[in-house]
Amino acid sequence: MYLGKHMPVWLDTANGTNFPHLEDEVEVDVVIVGGGIAGLSAATSLKMEGLSIAILESKRISNYITGATTAKIAVTSNLIYNYIFTNFGKEFALKFKEAYFSAFNKIPKIIDKLNIDCDYRRVPLYIFSSDEDSFDNLKSELDVLKELDIDAKIIHDLSYPFENINNGLLYEDQAEFHPKKYLNGLADFINGDGSYIFEKTKVLAIEENENILAIGEKGIFKTNENERNKNLNNDFKKNNDNKMKTIVTERGNLKAKNVLIATNSPIYDPDNLYKFLSQNKSYLLGVYTKSKFPQGMFVDHSPFHSYRSTSTEKGELVIIGGEHHLLEILKIHGIILTTLETSQKNLWM
């Protein structure tokens, strides 16, 4: 019996990177802190505009959240438009849609332009609920999708292994890819011609005229709020034009006029957004199934589980996610994985 590995399939099935750490000071137009999909996408766009970039990544690029994602590229991740429309109004919901669609449309263009082999394929997305009482949620979501001119429809005949589910929302022509291969392709494009990627280079602070503008992730949790607010220069946002900043790293300093922070959890946070953040832990299981998993991405809205598959040397691996919980709630990971496994065994019986 193959017991598998305790690591994301993406990191197991694509080449790792080995960029140097920062050693000598380099001159670039923009320093980007964080080498996940946000940092590398921004770097790609800026380099395409003719700017020079240095990415500073504390670990290895794409190995953090992006390396452990389910990598569904869709115009939605769940039943979210109704929530946004109801709570923030149509104008905001349209902006939200625009952001989603812009990223959704940009990825295939970049793949084509840079000729990246990253298993990108168009597949449908199904969102359903194994809790039958949630049908009203699907209908309300569909009403808002129509209002926002987003293509989707209710279906009643999901295929194996979800054939017992009576109702779902179908979004046709969505996509999935291999995120590590994609980011490796972006990294190949970014590095060189006056642009750099530095790994194992953690940013500790960003300073301007001796003011600390941003502090590293440990700092956020180490300093209390007063200290933190005293340290942060709230005018940075307004004045972040042409002033030279010093990016302090564990490997030495860099200077640049423009700094873009793409660390997922913010290390520069003038609006105190961290107050609204909560840390969640979620779990992914990769399984080889005896019966063929249908092409497509499937999201069970309630209770939340997500499904997609990816080709590996051993066959099609089904990636099942779910059972997320707040980090401060102590859970025994083994029990959660067993719960996830048991719920899936029932599904495939």
- Residues interacting with ligand FAD, by CB under 6 A? 33-39, 56-59, 64-66, 68-72, 77, 202-203, 216-217, 262-264, 267, 282, 284, 321
Q: CB 218 → ligand FAD: shortest distance, Å? A: 8
Q: Is 53 exposed, middle or buried (0-12, 13-18, 19+ CB in 10 A)?
A: buried
Residue 279's Cβ-side half-sphere holds a number of Cα atoms within 13 Å equal to 9
Residues 6 or more apart whose CB falls under 8 angstroms from that of 142 comprise 152, 153, 154, 169
Query: Closest by alpha carbon to 231, among 263, 258, 204?
Result: 204
Judged by CB, which is closer to ligand FAD: 11, or 154?
A: 11
Beta strands in the chain (DSSP E): 30-33, 53-56, 72-73, 121-128, 153-155, 168-176, 196-198, 203-208, 211-215, 245-249, 252-256, 258-261, 280-288, 297-300, 305-312, 315-326
Judged by CB, which is closer to ligand FAD: 264, or 289?
A: 264
Judged by CB, which is closer to ligand FAD: 38, or 80?
A: 38
Q: CB 211 → ligand FAD: shortest distance, Å? A: 18
C-alpha 265/C-alpha 32 separation (Å) is 14
SS3 assignment, position 15: coil
- Nearest position to ligand FAD, beta carbon: 36
Judged by CB, which is closer to ligand FAD: 135, or 284?
A: 284
Judged by CB, which is closer to ligand FAD: 65, or 335?
A: 65
Judged by CB, which is closer to ligand FAD: 133, or 276?
A: 276
The tokens describing 236, both together, are 């940075």
Q: CB 42 → ligand FAD: shortest distance, Å? A: 9
Q: Decide: 162 and 169 in contact? Cβ < 8 Å.
A: no
SS3 assignment, position 97: helix
Q: CB 36 → ligand FAD: shortest distance, Å? A: 2
Q: CB 62 → ligand FAD: shortest distance, Å? A: 7
C-alpha 34/C-alpha 199 separation (Å) is 9
C-alpha 175/C-alpha 75 separation (Å) is 9
Task: Give the strand order in the sheet containing 196-198.
Answer: 196-198, 53-56, 30-33, 258-261
Judged by CB, which is closer to ligand FAD: 185, or 321?
A: 321
Q: CB 214 → ligand FAD: shortest distance, Å? A: 9
Amino acid at 258: N
Judged by CB, which is closer to ligand FAD: 44, or 70?
A: 70
Q: CB 138 → ligand FAD: shortest distance, Å? A: 20
End-to-end CA distance of the chain: 19
Q: CB 1 → ligand FAD: shortest distance, Å? A: 26
Q: How far is CA 113 from each of CA 36, 66, 106, 186, rounded to the nearest angstrom?
A: 20, 22, 11, 11
Judged by CB, which is closer to ligand FAD: 147, or 250?
A: 250
Q: CB 290 → ligand FAD: shortest distance, Å? A: 25
